[in-house]
């Protein structure tokens, strides 16, 4: 990117299938799908009754009873992941000072879960439009204002520089990390806790995707429901989780002898200005975001070793995206491995972009490409190498990750192995 090189020195992940970055990576390498029948509420009567849930125990994750009472599940994920990332980075209290620490956190739907739970109490199960304020919890406003999520991460990481929640729907996670890189390049901060969190597995969110038939109704085979690029795919599977990264300038990481997972070399986003949920089949704007991120990273398509796809598993997304890869990569699109980890951890809306950046950094770290689980019968219109079923060992030095979301937003990020690694 223009200006100083920025890298990742700490990774924290809370994902379905296991808590912590290590468990997350093991799940991806095993090609195991963590989707299942919803347990967080009784999904009877809903069209899609499956999700990728985190087996998250806030006490075991180190949260105090007070924190657990105060925080929405999305905040709990974010704080636990931020603490893991900070510990991983080796950053302690001395450096940098609080005013040089920033937070750029993404989330698409904020504290929906608590907001809905409290609504049910105040409205007596939807009976009263004029909800009863006498039953309101003291922190109700914290659940209405999604900025709370960023504030919690700021407190957990002693950040007093710029702190913000980025909320561009399903590209929030990529956009929040991209924005974190900019803060470092412009000199506003010395480290940025950048990432995203989401805990959307609640009745209202499940119902709103039911209403537009965006999620998979494959309730009888939960483990096989998320199948991006497969001929028989029938929608995405809702997920939850968080990833928080410690970003810093490569120069400071080298100076303090920190481990660098990867550099973030390019980022761009574009909007299709077309439709809130519809995608033009030609993938034009996503291709443009990809081109711009490659240009900033000074990488040619031939140099990209792996593409982490948005790969949500909806009919239209996977074709749109395949078209975008062909448009931006030309003949190289047919050679570069492409995979979707949503086949294993589901689609956690705003969080997934950051979880995927974490996966890309770990792919570079381990020279391994995660597979697309459940891809048994490729869609003839999706004719690229989607790394079906099994993880692949290969030199992985430069990686592209993309995201696409409601509102027409398309984002792309290029990561590369640290110089000298």
Partner 1 sequence: MTVRAMVTGLGVVAPAGVGAEAFWAAARAGHCALGPITRFDAAAYPVRLAGEVATFDAAAFVPGPVIPQTDRFTHLGLAAAAMALADARANPADLPEYGSAVVTGASSGGTEFGQHEIERLWREGPGSVGAYQSIAWFYAATTGQVSIRHKLRGPCGVLATEQAAGLDALGEARRMLRSGVRLVLAGGTDASLCPYGLVAQLSTGLLSAASDPSAAYLPFSPAAGGYVPGEGGAMMVIERADDAAARGIAPYGEIAGYAATFDPPPGSGRGPGLVRAAMLALRDADVPPSEIDVVFADAMGAPAWDSAEAAAISAVFGPHGVPVTAPKAGSGRSYAGGASLDVACALLSIRAGLIPPTPGGGRPDPRYAIDLVSRQPRKQRIRAALVLARGYGGFNAAVVVRAPSRPE
Closer by beta carbon to partner 1, 197 or else 396: 197
Q: Are strands 163-166 and 191-198 parallel, antiparallel or unpaired?
A: unpaired
121 near partner 1, judged by CB under 8 A: no
Could you tell me which stretch among 85-93, 154-162, 338-346, 413-421 binds partner 1 (CB under 8 A)? Answer: 154-162
Taking each helix axis from N to C end, the angle separating 112-122 and 73-89, rounded to the nearest 10 degrees, works out to 150
Site string for partner 1, 202-231 (x = CB under 8 A): -xx-xxxxxxx-x-----------------
Question: Catalytic pick from 54, 111, 320, 347?
Answer: 347
* Residues 260 and 253 sit within 8 Å (Cβ to Cβ): yes
- Exactly one of 89, 252, 269, 374 binds partner 1 (CB under 8 A); that residue is 269
Q: How is residue 157 written in tokens? A: 């990481």
Question: Catalytic pick from 170, 320, 360, 382?
Answer: 170
Could you tell me which stretch among 118-126, 309-317, 326-334, 373-381 binds partner 1 (CB under 8 A)? Answer: 118-126
- Exactly one of 120, 220, 251, 419 binds partner 1 (CB under 8 A); that residue is 120
The answer to whether 310 is a known catalytic residue is yes
Closer by beta carbon to partner 1, 109 or else 355: 109
Q: Tell me the C-alpha distance between 37 and 133, whole Å.
A: 35
Judged by CB under 8 A, the number of residues near partner 1 is: 82
Closer by beta carbon to partner 1, 148 or else 226: 148
Task: For the segment 169-188, give every residue that binds partner 1 (CB under 8 A).
Answer: 169, 175, 179, 182, 186
Could you tell me which stretch among 88-96, 135-143, 237-245, 256-264 binds partner 1 (CB under 8 A)? Answer: 135-143
- Exactly one of 4, 40, 90, 160 binds partner 1 (CB under 8 A); that residue is 160
113 near partner 1, judged by CB under 8 A: no
Task: For the segment 3-42, give every residue that binds partner 1 (CB under 8 A).
Answer: none
- Exactly one of 92, 94, 129, 380 binds partner 1 (CB under 8 A); that residue is 129
Q: Tell me the C-alpha distance between 244 and 315, whole Å.
A: 30
State in angstroms the smallest separation of the CB of 176 from partner 1. 10
State in angstroms the smallest separation of the CB of 315 from partner 1. 17
State in angstroms the smallest separation of the CB of 123 from partner 1. 7
The answer to whether 366 is a known catalytic residue is no
Question: Catalytic pick from 310, 320, 360, 382?
Answer: 310
- Exactly one of 16, 18, 20, 146 binds partner 1 (CB under 8 A); that residue is 146
Alpha helices by DSSP H, listed for 334-416, are 342-345, 352-366
Task: For the segment 376-415, give every residue that binds partner 1 (CB under 8 A).
Answer: 405-409
Torsion of CA 296, 370, 253, 162, to 10 degrees: 70
Site string for partner 1, 284-323 (x = CB under 8 A): -x--x---x-------------------------------
Give the DSSP letter of residue 134: G
The answer to whether 382 is a known catalytic residue is no
Task: For the segment 41-70, give every residue that binds partner 1 (CB under 8 A).
Answer: 45-47
**If 0-12 CB within 10 Å is exposed, 13-18 middle and 19+ buried, where does residue 182 land?**
middle
Q: Tell me the C-alpha distance between 73 and 149, whole Å.
A: 10
Closer by beta carbon to partner 1, 40 or else 204: 204
Q: Tell me the C-alpha distance between 272 and 69, whole Å.
A: 41
Q: Tell me the C-alpha distance between 189 and 103, whole Å.
A: 9
The sign of the dihedral angle between the CA atoms of 206, 208, 210, 216 is negative
Largest CA distance in the chain: 64
Could you tell me which stretch among 14-22, 56-64, 218-226, 268-276 binds partner 1 (CB under 8 A)? Answer: 268-276
**If 0-12 CB within 10 Å is exposed, 13-18 middle and 19+ buried, where does residue 60 land?**
exposed
Q: How is residue 300 written in tokens? A: 């040619």
State in angstroms the smallest separation of the CB of 151 from partner 1. 4
**If 0-12 CB within 10 Å is exposed, 13-18 middle and 19+ buried, where does residue 198 land?**
buried
Closer by beta carbon to partner 1, 92 or else 127: 127
* Residues 94 and 208 sit within 8 Å (Cβ to Cβ): no
DSSP letter string, 206-241: HHHHHHTT-B---TT-GGGS--TTBTT--SB-BB-E
Which residues are tagged catalytic? 170, 310, 347
């Amino acid at each position: 990117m223009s200006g100083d090189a920025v890298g990742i020195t700490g990774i924290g992940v809370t994902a379905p299938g296991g808590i912590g970055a290590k468990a997350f990576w093991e799940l991806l390498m095993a090609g195991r799908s963590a989707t299942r029948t919803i347990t967080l509420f009784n999904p009877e009567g809903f069209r899609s009754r499956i999700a990728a849930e985190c087996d998250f125990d806030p006490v075991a994750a180190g949260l105090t009873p007070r924190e657990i009472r105060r925080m929405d599940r999305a905040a709990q994920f974010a704080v636990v992941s931020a603490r893991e990332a900070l510990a991983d980075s080796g950053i302690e209290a001395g450096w940098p000072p609080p005013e040089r620490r920033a937070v750029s956190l993404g989330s698409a739907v904020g504290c929906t879960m608590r907001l809905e739970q409290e609504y049910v109490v105040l409205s007596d199960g939807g009976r009263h439009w004029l909800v009863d304020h006498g039953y309101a919890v003291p922190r109700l406003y914290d659940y209405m204002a999604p900025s709370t999520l960023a504030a919690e991460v700021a407190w957990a990481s002693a950040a007093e520089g710029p702190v913000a929640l980025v909320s561009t729907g399903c590209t929030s996670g990529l956009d929040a990390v991209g924005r974190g890189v900019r803060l470092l390049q412009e000199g506003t901060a010395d480290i940025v806790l950048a990432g995203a969190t989401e805990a959307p597995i609640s009745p209202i969110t499940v119902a709103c995707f039911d209403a537009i038939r965006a999620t998979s109704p494959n309730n009888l085979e939960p483990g096989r429901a998320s199948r991006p690029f497969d001929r028989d795919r029938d929608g995405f599977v809702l997920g939850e989780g968080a990833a928080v990264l410690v970003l810093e300038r490569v120069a400071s990481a080298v100076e303090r002898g920190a481990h660098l997972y990867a550099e973030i070399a390019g980022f761009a986003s574009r909007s299709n200005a077309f439709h809130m949920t519809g995608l033009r089949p030609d993938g034009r704007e996503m291709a443009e975001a990809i081109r711009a991120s490659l240009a900033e990273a000074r990488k040619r398509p031939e140099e990209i070793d792996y593409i982490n796809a948005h790969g949500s598993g909806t009919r239209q997304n996977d074709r749109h995206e395949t078209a975008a890869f062909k448009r931006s990569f030309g003949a190289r699109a047919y050679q570069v491995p492409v995979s979707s980890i949503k086949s294993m951890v589901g689609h956690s809306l705003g969080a997934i972009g950051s979880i995927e950046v974490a996966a890309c950094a770990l792919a570079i770290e381990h020279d391994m490409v995660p597979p697309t689980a459940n891809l048994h019968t490729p869609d003839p219109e999706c004719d690229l190498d989607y790394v079906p079923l099994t993880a692949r060992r290969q030199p992985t030095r430069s990686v592209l990750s993309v995201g696409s979301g409601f509102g027409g937003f398309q984002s792309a990020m290029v990561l590369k192995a640290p110089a000298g690694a």
